């Protein structure tokens, strides 16, 4: 059973941002499903914060992102900051670049027009994961 983490406050999100990008201002934010937050910065950049239950999960996610960015031809967010220990706001998190595209109301980017489109997206993802796993 997955735990739902405590919601981050605007002040905590600003602390995350200040640690990673000193001087940058948070213009707006919204909570997304899966203990995630979408951030819009005053300079126009968009970022995401992903919370984790444990330091190990955050560290594993950061390592996986680094590995996948170099191995697969898929849109993978860039890791902007990593606080696996949770020192900044009391909970482990990653600060990630935003992916190009329109974020749906449900907090996800994948919006194929048909069931066949979803099938193709999932098969492509699994094929790339299998390729990476077979080389490591």
Global confidence as pTM: 0.72
Contact 107, 83 (CB under 8 A): no
Could you tell me the residue ranges of all domains in the chain?
10-134
The superfamily (CATH) of domain 10-134 is Phosphorylase Kinase; domain 1 (3.30.200.20)
Task: Encode pLDDT of 49-95 as tens digits.
Answer: 999 999 999 998 888 888 877 776 667 788 999 999 999 999 999 99
Please tell me what DSSP assigns to residue 84: T
- How far the first Cα of the chain sits from its last, in Å, is 29
């Amino acid at each position: 059973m997955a735990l739902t983490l405590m919601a981050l406050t605007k002040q905590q999100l600003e602390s995350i941002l200040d640690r990673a990008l000193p001087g940058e201002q948070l213009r707006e934010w919204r909570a997304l499903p899966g203990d995630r937050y979408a951030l819009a910065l005053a300079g126009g950049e968009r970022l995401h914060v992903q919370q984790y239950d444990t330091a190990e999960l955050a560290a594993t996610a950061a390592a996986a992102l680094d590995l996948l960015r170099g191995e697969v031809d898929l849109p993978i967010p860039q890791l902007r900051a990593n606080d696996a220990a949770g020192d900044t706001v009391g909970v482990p998190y990653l600060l990630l670049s935003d992916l190009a595209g329109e974020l749906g109301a449900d907090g996800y980017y994948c919006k194929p027009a048909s069931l066949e489109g979803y099938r193709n997206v999932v098969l492509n993802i699994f094929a790339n994961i299998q390729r990476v796993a077979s080389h490591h």
